[in-house]
Structure 1
């Protein structure tokens, strides 16, 4: 959808920082290829005429991501469930929210850290954390840690490994494989949770029915 090289060449460091901020700050950055963007930025930082030095990328990209997380958290905290009804989230789809909630259920607060490495999920995570009223200090700790691990990490990988043709050409597939390895167990967990909830509802309905005496044996007993 986007020519990452042209985007970086045209807008430079300011452009990449704006995109990284928007991903969680205004919930629309998910349309950009975030991981590829960082990796490509690292590759271009290693060129003879870099658009920005590596140290600047590794410092300001995580900061932009952390600021975006704070805005997303504030949206969730102050607007609550109503934020989930926004047009942007309807565009993203309910599955992203369900998957994110599954991450929180399984991993707790550390979800804020590793969600940074999962496209779309990292867009929704600050919002869900705010809605769930996660302690702000806890959220900030894991957010900053995740932003630096993701922002500086992938950019540095691009800087160090961008010269390897295989990694450069198949980056999207490599990231997809990693994301799949993380998402599949969570999806299975969410399915099991839904099945368990459905069984609980059926059991509750059965108990309520039996409690009112409306069961097959009641008619026979009355007749006797």
Structure 2
């Protein structure tokens, strides 16, 4: 954000294109999981409210929504075409690329299995998970029309809520003069659900004792589960 915020301020009307492009890469190309989508939307709303951005806020929101929705559609298509290779680890017969974080994919897989199809909407608000959930949805053959509907709804809610938060908090003097600090706090807050999920998973794994040397149990572990 320390690079993106001044860049947004200097681009004029093209700031909307930058926001849309960042959200597209974050949600659609697998390599953008490190990009600050939440912070960028919040900062865009804040900077628009203070008049720093010349592009109208509705245009920034529209382009952001299109970038996020198209990114998820691309992720879904990747899942339909190559998803099993990405989800199943190499040690279980899959072909997951070594550069791709297995932990992130596994977290998105578990998130989707736990929440079902509504995970497409909920994942928007969970960093890292939102990058890989569309791939998991495509891999597990979620119906395309249903995915598209959830994708469009989730993208609209995500963009609207975070940009509205930035817009209305922009009038607060402390927020207006400490954009980077506020966006860092937003990142920390948005990571709480993911951290809670990790802690619950660890606690659950410690409490469960799977039978050893059970071929049937091993086959269940290796299977790609459906919701």
For normalisation by structure 2, the TM-score amounts to 0.77
What is the root-mean-square deviation in Å for CA atoms of aligned residues?
2.7
Q: 1:36 to 1:106 in 2, by over 3 A?
A: same
Structure 1 unmatched runs, 5+: 208-224
What SS class does the counterpart of residue 108 from structure 1 fall into?
helix
Report deviation, 1:149. Answer: 0.8
| Match among 157, 161, 165 for residue 157 of structure 1 | 165
What SS class does the counterpart of residue 54 from structure 2 fall into?
coil
Matched, 1:183 2:212: no
| Match among 130, 141, 150 for residue 142 of structure 1 | 150
Deviations 1:120-161 (CA, angstroms, capped at 9, x unpaired) = 111111111111111112211221111011112111211111
Structure 2 unmatched runs, 5+: 88-94, 218-227
What SS class does the counterpart of residue 214 from structure 2 fall into?
helix
Report deviation, 1:206. Answer: 11
Residue 214 of structure 2 corresponds to: 204
Residue 173 of structure 1 corresponds to: 185
For normalisation by structure 1, the TM-score amounts to 0.78
Deviations 1:19-48 (CA, angstroms, capped at 9, x unpaired) = 111112212222321111111111121133
Residue 29 of structure 1 corresponds to: 32
Residue 74 of structure 2 corresponds to: 71
Residue 6 of structure 1 corresponds to: 6
Q: 1:108 to 1:192 in 2, by over 3 A?
A: farther
Larger Rg over CA atoms? 1
Matched, 1:42 2:45: yes
Residue 215 of structure 1 corresponds to: none
Residue 100 of structure 1 corresponds to: 108
Comparing 48-57 and 37-46, the one that deviates more: 48-57
* Contact 1:13–1:51, Cα closer than 8 Å, also in 2: no
Query: Would you say how many aligned residue pairs link Structure 1 and Structure 2?
Result: 203
Deviations 1:48-96 (CA, angstroms, capped at 9, x unpaired) = 3523111112222112101110011001101122245565xx4452111
